[in-house]
Structure 1
Amino acid sequence: MHKMDFLQPQEKELSLSFIQKGYIIQPTEDRAALDRIQSQIATLAATFLGKEPPQNPTDFLNNIANSIGIAQLNDLRLHVISGLMETDWFRKAYFSCARSLLETLVGNELVMQRNLGLSVQLPHDDSSLLPLHSDVWGSECSPFEVVLWIPLVDCYRTKSMFVLPASLDRQWRDRMHEFADKGTESLFEAIEPEVEWLKVPYGNVVVFTPTIMHGNRVNQEATTRWTLNIRFKGVFTPYSDKRLGEYFSPISVRPVSRIGMKFQLPGGFNE
C-alpha cells in the first residue's frame, strides 16, 4: 500500500528539517505585529522605571542594565507580563508572527498557552538561568507541544538559548542513566561540544519542540536578552497535566469540529 503524503513541497521541507533539528528559525510572518509587541514591552518597562516611552525600543531594551539592577529585575518582568496580559491585541499579534509555520508543523486547529514566558537576562547575571532540561522529562508537558520563542533584541552566543539538535538528543537520551547521580551540570558538560547556540536576529522567530534538551547560561554579552515564549499544540492531542481551559485556550477550532463536539444523537436509536 502506497504511503499517502499530500503535503506541499515546502511543507515537506520544513517538516523534515524540524524532525531532524527539533527547531525552525525563520523571519516573522508579521513584522508590524512584532514591532508593536516590542514597542509595547519597551513602554511597559519604561513606565516601571518612571521614564517616557523610548523612541528606539531596541536600544532601550538592549541597554536596560543601565537603569535597573538584579534586585528589581523580577518586579520589572512581572510588571511587563501583567501589562501584556491586559493588552487585548497581544495574543493575536503573537500568533500572527508565525501562524503559517505553526499550522504546517502542528496543525490548523490549535490551542495557545494562556500565560506567557518572558526572559530578561542582564549581562553577567546568574540569577536568571534556565539549566539544561527537556520539558517532557516531567509529567506536566506533552510531547505534542511546540514553543514559539521570539526575541525582542538580537540574540546570539550566550545572549541566546542553546539546544541539542533532535538527532543528537535521541542518542544522549539513551545514555541518561549514566548521569542519574551526577546532576544536569555534568550532563551539560558532556553534551556541550554538540549543543547549538541559536543565532536569532530581531525580526526572526523560533519554533522548537520541548522534547529536546535546551536551556541558557550566564549572558556574557554586553547587552540584555529579552525573549518571549508561548506554547501551542493541536486541540485534539494529549494534554498531560497542562489541560485545556486551565493552561491552554483554543484559538482556531474549525466549524466541523465545533459541530461534532456539540452533536447528540436523537433518542430512540440505542433503545
Structure 2
Amino acid sequence: MDFLEKIETDLSSAFIQNGYIIQPCENQSALERIRNKTVDLATNFLGVPYPTDPGVFLDEIVSVLPLTKLNFFRLHIISGLMAESWFREAYFSCARSLVETIVGNELVMQRNIGFSIQIPGDNSSLLPLHSDSWGSECSPFEVVLWIPLVDCYRTKSMFILPPDADAKWREKVQDFAGGGTESLYQAVEPELKWLEVPYGKVVLFTPTVMHGNRINQESTTRWSMNIRFKGLFTPYSDKRLGEYFAPIAVRAASTIGMKFTMPGGFDD
C-alpha cells in the first residue's frame, strides 16, 4: 500500500530516478537573509563597503579577494553564519516540504555547514568524483540540501552521475584502482549531468551516487552551501547523532516512546 499523495509520489519517483531534485526555494526571504549576511561577513573581512548588488559582488569577488586569503575568508564566513541563531532554521525552511517528502518528518540536520567558494581557474577548491557512501562515514540514508548564492551552471556548478549509470559504473570501480579517480572520471564523463541551478533555486540530492566538481572555467565565482539531513531513526555510520547530526524535528509519540520504561514485576 502507498498512501502518499500524488505530488509526493511524483517527487519521490523523480528523486529515485534522477538522484536529485531542483526546485524553487520555498522561503525566498530566508534565502535573501542568508545571502545578505554572507555579503555582510565578506565585506567586513575585506574592509569594503556593502555593495548595491550583492549578486554581482559575489560573482566578481576575485576583484577584491586575494587568492592567498581564500581559505581564511571562507572560514570567516562559515563561523559568522553558524554564530547566527536563526541560520539553521532559515536554511531548512528553504526546502522544508521537499526534505520532509523525500526523507520524512522526524529529522536530524548536520551541525556544521559545507561552504564552497570556487574562483575561476582555481584548483584549490575541488571535490573530485566520489560517492560519500562508499566509505564508513556516510549513511546511505542521508540527503544533501545544496543551495547556491549565485547562478550556477556548467563548470561553475556540480555534476552528478544518474543512478542507473552510477549502478553500472559502481560494478567497475575496481578496474580503475591503478589510474585513480581521474581515470574513473574520464570514463564516466559522457554520462555526467551538470546541474543548472540559478540563484533562487535549491538542489536536494543523494550522496550515494557519484558526484563532484571540476575547475571553474566560467568567468564568475561559484558560491554554494550544503547541509545534510536524514531520518532520526535511520541507521547512522561514523557521523553520529549528537556529534555530526543534531535533531531538529522529533514528534510527540517518539518523545514519549523514547522516555517510556516498563514497571517492575512483569518478569516474575
TM-score > 0.5, shorter chain as reference: yes
Residue identity in the other structure for 2:169: W
Q: Secondary structure at the match of 2:249?
A: coil
Q: 2:116 aligns with which of 110, 116, 119?
A: 119
2: CA distance, partners of 1:93 / 1:31: 10
Residue identity in the other structure for 1:116: I
- The Cα shift of 1:53 comes to 2.4
- The Cα shift of 1:255 comes to 0.4
Output aligned runs, 1:240-251, within 5 Å. 240-251=237-248
Output aligned runs, 1:1-271, within 5 Å. 4-271=1-268
Q: Secondary structure at the match of 1:5?
A: coil
2: CA distance, partners of 1:69 / 1:27: 33
Which stretch has the larger CA shift, 161-170 or 149-158?
A: 161-170
4+ residue segments displaced more than 3 Å: none
Does the Cα contact within 8 Å between 1:43 and 1:52 map onto a contact in 2? no
2: CA distance, partners of 1:238 / 1:26: 28
Q: Number of matched residues?
A: 268
1: CA distance, partners of 2:158 / 2:115: 13
Q: Secondary structure at the match of 1:219?
A: coil
Residue segments in structure 2 that go unaligned for 5+ positions in a row: none
2: CA distance, partners of 1:266 / 1:237: 28
Does the Cα contact within 8 Å between 1:24 and 1:208 map onto a contact in 2? yes
- The Cα shift of 1:137 comes to 1.1
Residue identity in the other structure for 1:209: T
2: CA distance, partners of 1:169 / 1:7: 27
- The Cα shift of 1:22 comes to 0.4
1: CA distance, partners of 2:236 / 2:42: 34
**Alignment root-mean-square deviation, CA:** 0.7
Does the Cα contact within 8 Å between 1:135 and 1:210 map onto a contact in 2? yes
2: CA distance, partners of 1:104 / 1:44: 33
1: CA distance, partners of 2:267 / 2:224: 55
Residue segments in structure 1 that go unaligned for 5+ positions in a row: none
Residue identity in the other structure for 2:213: N
Q: Secondary structure at the match of 1:251?
A: strand
Once the two structures are aligned, what percentage of the paired residues are identical? 66
Which stretch has the larger CA shift, 177-186 or 52-61?
A: 52-61
Does the Cα contact within 8 Å between 1:43 and 1:54 map onto a contact in 2? no
> CA offsets, 1:58-86, max 9 Å, x none?
11111100001221000000000000010
Residue identity in the other structure for 1:256: A
Residue identity in the other structure for 1:47: N
- The Cα shift of 1:268 comes to 1.3
1: CA distance, partners of 2:8 / 2:164: 20
2: CA distance, partners of 1:72 / 1:137: 33
- The Cα shift of 1:182 comes to 1.4
Residue identity in the other structure for 1:87: E
TM-score w.r.t. the length of structure 1 is: 0.98
Residue identity in the other structure for 1:102: V
